[in-house]
Copies of this chain bind each other. A is one copy, B any other.
Amino acid sequence: MKSLEKIRNAGLRPTKQRLVIADILLDGQNRHFTAEDLQDEISSSGNYMSIGTVYNCLKKFRECGLIKQVKYSKDTAVFDTNTNHHHHFLDEETGQLIDIDNNKVILKNIPEIPNGFINNGVEVIIKLKRNN
């Protein structure tokens, strides 16, 4: 599917900037990146985009489910092009994330959900340390 269609299907206006970002991000690869990482890739691809627009686009993409955001990697916002329910290995030193397929992790016990709430998704983080 073309970037134009993906953006239209998501209910967003296909601006030049959103198309540039969609071309970079929505290529089937699973990536974890910051706003600045993306701005650098945009530059490398021969385009220019203000950092404000990068943030605006990422917010819109997130809101309509084209990407996700990961909260535990770095102190800066990290986005994730893998929109499936999945888990992560996390190298706490560097913030590097590696995807874990949902079906690779099986929880035997899940504790009782507190009163007034419902389970809205389980996320497993396996923290990693370099071995030597």
Contact = CB atoms under 8 A, between A and B. Distances in A.
Count the copies. 2
The interface residues of chain A, by DSSP majority, are classed as strand
Given A107-B106, A120-B92, A113 B128 contact: yes
A114 B127 contact: no
A104 B113 CA distance: 12
Given A71-B71, A108-B106, A123 B113 contact: no
- Give the interface residue-count category, chain A: 20 to 34
A89 interface: yes
A51 to B, nearest CB: 18
Contacts of A124: 107, 122-125
Ranked 4 nearest A-B pairs via Cβ: A117-B128, A120-B129, A106-B108, A104-B111
